[in-house]
A and B are shown apart, each in its own frame.
Chain A
Amino acid sequence: MPGIFDILHIGNSALGASGFGVNATGQNIANASTPGYHRRTVQLQTGTPVQRGRLILGSGVDVVGAQRIASRTLDARVRTAQAGASASDARANLLSRAEAIFSDLQGGGISASLDRFFDSFSGLAADPQSATARSATLDASSNLAGQIREHAQQLNGIQAELDRELELQVREVNRLTTELANVNKQVLQTNPPAPDTLDRQSALLTELSAKVEIQALHQSNGTVDVILPDTGFSLVSGNSPNTLNAQASGTGRIEVTGDQAGFSRTLTANLTGGEIGGLVQARDSDINGLLNDLDAFANDLASAVNAVHSAGFGADGVTGRALFSVAGAQGAAANFSLDAAVSGNPDALAASGSATLTGDNGQAILLSQLRGSLVVNGRTPSEAYAGVLESFGGKMRSAEISAISTAGALANVSALQQSQSGVSIDEEMTALLQYRQAYAAAAQVIRTADELLGEVLSLKR
């Protein structure tokens, strides 16, 4: 024969279970948009039965706890996708920054200056003795030199900006790894690890993946070690972070270094993925490539122009003067300027092919016809320059396409992960209705037990 107190106990456990259910549901709803949050489901089991004589009675419900619905595999795939998407997005954005300095499509820039330069020599050919034509040609030459120089210098400036951004990003990585190490410490404080701590851990890992591609090694005690995938360089080991350094190297660029087993090693090229990976690729591969292309263009152009110019004669009858100076093939674009012998001296422009005939225009014709000569890497100067922009545009295009496709991949794998671990408001609302009804029913059980108890007590009167 079950006692009334058994019934009260059942009612009580039912109240507790429903209350716990509402609590867990509330937590789910509250964190529906929290990064790293994995939904909880309430785990219930029937209470341990008790034997009263021949009868085996139920003892209500036991709350086992709230289960955190998580898949490490899916979480890891989200992180990989995140690293890829952040890298492509960062690269595409940074390349647009470099693109912004080129105004060629708007009818300006080096293309227009290059044409003006050759036009000016055609103009000089028409009237080689005119002071106006000479100074116009000198202006056009100086303008071309200035355009090439400024473009290269602005690209160098962007690389320097990226250096500073890399420093900030490395600081951010260090903050995240330090926090992850702290979270690892917190994980060990409860057994099993608190689900909220694991959520924080998961959120930090994803945040870190947006900075740089990592590999997370989950330990059996719930902590996570973090390494860089290619090198195995450890970023977090247990509760100690291994911070990275950003420092100026011999090349003048900021490089990322880290200490491993007492050795300092340069990691810049190993940081593939994440915003840092995108930044490094943009800085060291794309923009550097563009600068090298510009250097090659500038160097070939200067050699071709100088070869013709130095064979000609200025209005003063002097020959052998170069028109441009580039100070070496490396950095030719950034140093592109009028040669000191010509700068500020329009009479030094070698329009004439003859020492004595100052009114001759033979050399001006040859200089103006360089525009149609295959003097820059087997192409005409303007074709070669258009080729430089085509190749950079191609890189931008591939970065943009990759940004779109990696963002799509991230959306897909995130959807898979969310499908499993994400909170569904409708589902939670249903659960809320269910628990509310169960709570009311449990209260009714207690009320009934109370009435039974009242009946029993009234027997004594």
Chain B
Amino acid sequence: MRIATSMLYNQAKDNIQKRRFESAKTSAQIATGQRINSLSDDPQGVRRVLVNESTMREVQSMERSADHAEHLLNHADSALAETANVTHRIYEMAVQFSSDTYSAQDRQGAADELVQLREQLVQLSNAEVDGRFIFGGAGNAGLPFDAAGVFSGDAGTFELPVGRRATVQAGLPGGEPFVDSGGGPTIFDTIDTLETALRADNTSAITGVIDEAEAGSSRVAGAQQALGIRYERLELVRSALSRSEVTASATLDAAKNTDYIEAVSYLRETEAGLQAALSVTARLGELSLTNFV
């Protein structure tokens, strides 16, 4: 084949261009640490990167929700622990003062203590964390219990999103355990009945309150158990979330990040090629008849 001079130079130019392009691309992969720097580098890879990045952000958002749920549950738990002490004390008082060994004066003193306990319970039932009433239900419409212990919240349970279709309950149904969901007397009703009976020094009436007080106390224990179940569920959710995060992160890493060893050795290779192309081109002029005549 006859070789025209322009062919040599065009070919040299094309070769250098091609090698430069390859080494620039590999350099960019190394410098940015990203295997994909343009949508066209690997279109399916782009989708994998974007979807997994989104999954990571989604999981992180759900983890924040789970954290918040735990925060709320922790507050509910400590409020319940105090409530349990109070309700237990009330039950004890009912049992204690139903006995004939106590005087009317003792019962008056107990009634006074009961008033204190009642106030403490009202406070606990209106416990609040970050603007949300722990026992107020889902609606959070103002103080759930008034001074008389009348519940004005809703029966809903506050939930938080922790999955594409999953929520966790970040509290108890509104009013519980202070209110009996079965429609029985509230703990405040029980206290009122007990106080009246104590002040009236009526032991049979006090005895009549024991069952009610026990039921109240065991409702609180039940609520504590219910919280425990919610904690367990939260833990399950958390471990599922961290598993998805690990999976997404691994897929993302494979799709997105530069394999440095591969990239650097490829860069070496393209640079060697570029060097060869440059030196051949520089010598094109040497091998010409013009240099010999």
- Tell whether A414 pairs with B10 under 8 Å between CB atoms, given A369-B164, A425-B289: yes
Tell which of A107, A119, A130, A424 touches B61, judged by Cβ atoms closer than 8 Å: A119
Closest to B49 in A: A105
Closest to B291 in A: A429
B125-143 CB contacts (< 8 Å) to partner A: 130-132, 136-141
Tell which of A102, A386, A390 touches B54, judged by Cβ atoms closer than 8 Å: A386
- Tell whether A368 pairs with B161 under 8 Å between CB atoms, given A354-B139, A360-B139, A423-B5: yes
CA distance A33 to B3 in the complex (A): 14
**Please, what's the 1-or-0 string for B3-44, where 1 marks a CB less than 8 Å from any CB in chain A?**
111110011001000000000000000000010111111111
Contact A122–B161 (Cβ < 8 Å)? yes
Tell which of A359, A390, A418 touches B132, judged by Cβ atoms closer than 8 Å: A359
* In the complex, A283 has a CB within 8 A of chain B: no
* In the complex, B271 has a CB within 8 A of chain A: no
Contact B14–A357 (Cβ < 8 Å)? no
* In the complex, B50 has a CB within 8 A of chain A: yes
Contact B159–A361 (Cβ < 8 Å)? yes
Q: Quick check: which of B62-70, B179-187, B219-227 contacts chain A, the rest being far away?
A: B62-70
Contact A365–B159 (Cβ < 8 Å)? yes
Closest to A96 in B: B38
A377-394 CB contacts (< 8 Å) to partner B: 382-383, 385-387, 389-394
CA distance A289 to B201 in the complex (A): 87
Contact B7–A429 (Cβ < 8 Å)? no
* In the complex, B261 has a CB within 8 A of chain A: no
CA distance A390 to B50 in the complex (A): 10
* In the complex, A236 has a CB within 8 A of chain B: no
* In the complex, A115 has a CB within 8 A of chain B: yes
Contact B3–A390 (Cβ < 8 Å)? no
Contact A99–B39 (Cβ < 8 Å)? yes
CA distance A73 to B14 in the complex (A): 24
Contact A415–B7 (Cβ < 8 Å)? yes
With a cutoff of 8 Å between Cβ atoms, the chain B residues found around residue A99 in the complex are 38-40
- Tell whether A127 pairs with B6 under 8 Å between CB atoms, given A115-B58, A425-B290: no
How many whole Å from A270's CB to the nearest CB in chain B? 28
- Tell whether A127 pairs with B5 under 8 Å between CB atoms, given A357-B138, A430-B289: no
* In the complex, A420 has a CB within 8 A of chain B: yes
How many whole Å from A129's CB to the nearest CB in chain B? 6
* In the complex, A419 has a CB within 8 A of chain B: yes
Count chain B CB atoms within 10 A of each CB in A96, A105, A122, A411 and give the residue with the most: A105
How many whole Å from A42's CB to the nearest CB in chain B? 17
B184-207 CB contacts (< 8 Å) to partner A: none
Contact A361–B289 (Cβ < 8 Å)? no
With a cutoff of 8 Å between Cβ atoms, the chain A residues found around residue B37 in the complex are 105
A120-177 CB contacts (< 8 Å) to partner B: 122-123, 125-130
Contact B61–A118 (Cβ < 8 Å)? yes
Tell which of B138, B139, B164 touches A373, judged by Cβ atoms closer than 8 Å: B164
Contact A422–B7 (Cβ < 8 Å)? yes
- Tell whether A369 pairs with B161 under 8 Å between CB atoms, given A122-B61, A130-B131: yes
CA distance A66 to B50 in the complex (A): 65
CA distance A201 to B216 in the complex (A): 104
A84-109 CB contacts (< 8 Å) to partner B: 95-96, 99, 102, 104-105, 107
Contact A357–B154 (Cβ < 8 Å)? yes
CA distance A141 to B204 in the complex (A): 64
* In the complex, B51 has a CB within 8 A of chain A: yes
* In the complex, A75 has a CB within 8 A of chain B: no
How many whole Å from A222's CB to the nearest CB in chain B? 24
How many whole Å from A154's CB to the nearest CB in chain B? 15
CA distance A119 to B4 in the complex (A): 65
Contact B43–A386 (Cβ < 8 Å)? no
Contact B40–A357 (Cβ < 8 Å)? no
Tell which of B4, B57, B141 touches A419, judged by Cβ atoms closer than 8 Å: B4
CA distance A386 to B163 in the complex (A): 21
Contact A359–B50 (Cβ < 8 Å)? no
How many whole Å from A434's CB to the nearest CB in chain B? 12
CA distance A415 to B10 in the complex (A): 9
With a cutoff of 8 Å between Cβ atoms, the chain B residues found around residue A122 in the complex are 61-62, 64-65, 160-161
Contact B160–A357 (Cβ < 8 Å)? no
* In the complex, B288 has a CB within 8 A of chain A: yes
CA distance A122 to B11 in the complex (A): 59
Tell which of A126, A129, A387, A394 touches B68, judged by Cβ atoms closer than 8 Å: A126
- Tell whether A107 pairs with B65 under 8 Å between CB atoms, given A390-B44, A411-B14, A433-B293: no
B39-95 CB contacts (< 8 Å) to partner A: 39-44, 46-47, 49-51, 53-54, 57-58, 61-62, 64-65, 68
Contact A129–B5 (Cβ < 8 Å)? no
Please name 17 pairs of A and B residues whose Cβ atoms are closer than 8 Å in the assembled complex, sorted by A.
A33-B6, A102-B39, A105-B49, A352-B139, A357-B141, A360-B156, A372-B165, A382-B50, A393-B39, A399-B40, A415-B11, A419-B4, A422-B4, A423-B4, A425-B5, A425-B288, A425-B290
Chain B residues close to A by CB (< 8 Å): 1-7, 10-11, 14, 34, 36-44, 46-47, 49-51, 53-54, 57-58, 61-62, 64-65, 68, 130-132, 136-141, 154, 156, 158-161, 163-165, 167, 288-290, 293
Chain A residues close to B by CB (< 8 Å): 32-33, 39, 95-96, 99, 102, 104-105, 107, 111-112, 114-115, 118-119, 122-123, 125-130, 352, 354, 356-362, 365, 368-369, 371-373, 382-383, 385-387, 389-394, 396-397, 399-400, 407, 411, 414-415, 418-426, 429-430, 433
- The 3 lowest CB-CB distance pairs between A and B, nearest first, are A422-B4, A359-B140, A372-B164
